[in-house]
Amino acid sequence: AKRYGDKGLPEDTIRVYLKGSAGQSFGAFGATGLSLFLQGDANDYLGKGLSGAKIILSPPAGSRFDTTKNIIAGNTILYGATSGEVYISGRAGQRFCVRNSGATAVVEGVGDHGCEYMTGGTVVVLGTIGNNFGAGMSGGTAYVFDDEDQSLENYNREMVGVGPVSAEDKVILKDLLQRHLQYTGSQKAGLILDNWAFSASRFMKVCAPSAPQQIEKIV
């Protein structure tokens, strides 16, 4: 910390490759320059307080289950994270990215209360969401791939605006999907990118109405 300061080490300076089941708080408070690659599954609080590190969670090699329908990570993922990136090829439990203030995450489905109390950062959900999505969300942006015509009732409409993505949003999304595919080999990300001209229009943008510069065209 004395040598590199708040910026930390260059990206991917330290790479850790793991297989199996991680307990609670895997990668908690991870700093910039650290990259954790886990094939398997993780419990609650993955990436708690993340501070610039990168976490990649994917199923074991040879796994055949549908990642958009199976939970691979527990509850309260990225609780209080301030920066960094997380790519999860599978679903996460409840309260995904609660109190996230700056981290970026891609996941293939979440339970109830996703992005609760989020104040910053970017979240991409490539599958279904649970109830009360965006409760207490005052900042940041979430993108939900709505290929199953999810009910708007799943979103906390008292707290967030929901609407179509812009051309600028599509650029951000495509870059994050490419990174997700690169790191996890996600079949869902591959399918979306292969049919990008159509798939891009299936994303919904979610953000707090208190940030009007972020919600142009949001209804």
Average pLDDT over residues 206-213: 69
Average pLDDT over residues 199-207: 95
Locate 27 and state its tokens: 């990668």
pLDDT digits (tens, 9 = 90+) for 30-80: 999 999 999 999 999 999 999 999 999 999 988 888 999 999 999 999 999
Instruction: Give pTM, 2 decimals.
Output: 0.93
Residue pair 144/127 in contact by the 8 Å Cβ criterion? no
The pLDDT confidence band at residue 216, using thresholds 50, 70 and 90, is: very low
Strands (E), the chain: 14-22, 34-42, 51-58, 71-73, 83-88, 91-92, 101-107, 119-125, 139-145, 161-164, 203-207
